[in-house]
Amino acid sequence: MQNFGLASWLHQMSYFRSAEQVEAQAERLAAGRFDIFIPCVKNGHGAADFVTDLADISPRYPTFDPLKPLVAACQARGVKVHPWFCVFTEGRRSRLLREHPEYIAKIEDPQEPHQWACACRPQVQDYLLALYADVARRYRPAGLHLDYIRTGGRCKCDYCREQMHSRGVDLDVAGPGDPAYQRWTDWRAAQVSGFVARLREFTRDEGMELSAAVYPEYPECVTEQAQDWADWAKKGLVDFLFPMNYTDSAEEAKARAADHVARVDGAAAVWEGLAQSLSRRTLSPEALMEQVTGVLEVGADGVVLFEYRGVGDEHIRAINSLRQTGSGA
- Rounding to the nearest 10 degrees, give the CA dihedral for residues 309, 313, 314, 316: 90
Q: In sequence order, which residues have a C-beta less than 8 Å from that of residue 208 and are 6 or more positions away?
A: 136, 141, 142, 143, 144
The structural domain count of the chain equals 1
170-180 average pLDDT score: 92
Residue 274 is classified by DSSP as E
β-bridge mates for residue 146, sequence order? 85, 212
First to last CA, the chain: 12
What stretches of the chain adopt beta strand conformation (E)? 5-10, 36-42, 80-81, 84-86, 143-147, 209-214, 240-243, 269-275, 277-278, 281-282, 302-306
Can you tell me the distance from the alpha carbon of 57 to that of 41, in angstroms, rounded to the nearest whole number? 10
Whether 131 and 89 have beta carbons less than 8 Å apart is answered as no
- The whole-number pLDDT of residue 279 equals 59
According to the model, what pLDDT value does residue 329 have?
A: 32
H-run or E-run covering 99:
helix 95-99
Cα separation values, 73 from 27, 187, 259, Å: 8, 42, 36
Residue 323 has pLDDT above 90, yes or no: no
Amino acid at 149: I
pLDDT in tens, 286-317: 999 999 999 999 999 999 999 999 899 999 99
Residues 118 and 160: their CA atoms lie apart, in Å, by 8
Cβ proximity of 67 and 39 under 8 Å: yes
pLDDT value at 78 more than 70: yes
Q: Which residues face 70 on adjacent strands?
A: none
The pTM score is 0.96
Specify the length of the chain in residues. Answer: 329
SS (H, E, C) 128-144: HHHHHHHHHHHHCCCEE
- Residues 101-129: pLDDT tens digits? 999 999 987 667 789 999 999 999 999 99
Please give the helix or strand (H or E) that residue 205 lies within, else none.
Answer: helix 179-206
- For residue 5, CA distances in Å to 33, 80, 234, 240, 262 come to 9, 12, 21, 11, 18
CATH number, position 260: 3.20.20.80
DSSP letter (8 states) at residue 151: -
Domain extent, residue 202, equals 5-327
Task: Name the average pLDDT for the chain.
Answer: 94
* 298 DSSP 8-state letter: T
Helices (H), 207-268: 220-225, 229-234, 250-264
The pLDDT of residue 324 is 62
What residues have CB less than 8 Å from 21, skipping those under 6 apart? none
pLDDT digits (tens, 9 = 90+) for 200-213: 999 999 999 999 99
Whether residue 72 contacts residue 23, with contact meaning beta carbons closer than 8 Å, is answered with no
Helices (H), 11-93: 19-31, 67-76
For residue range 16-61, list pLDDT tens digits in order: 999 999 999 999 999 999 999 999 999 999 999 999 999 999 999 9
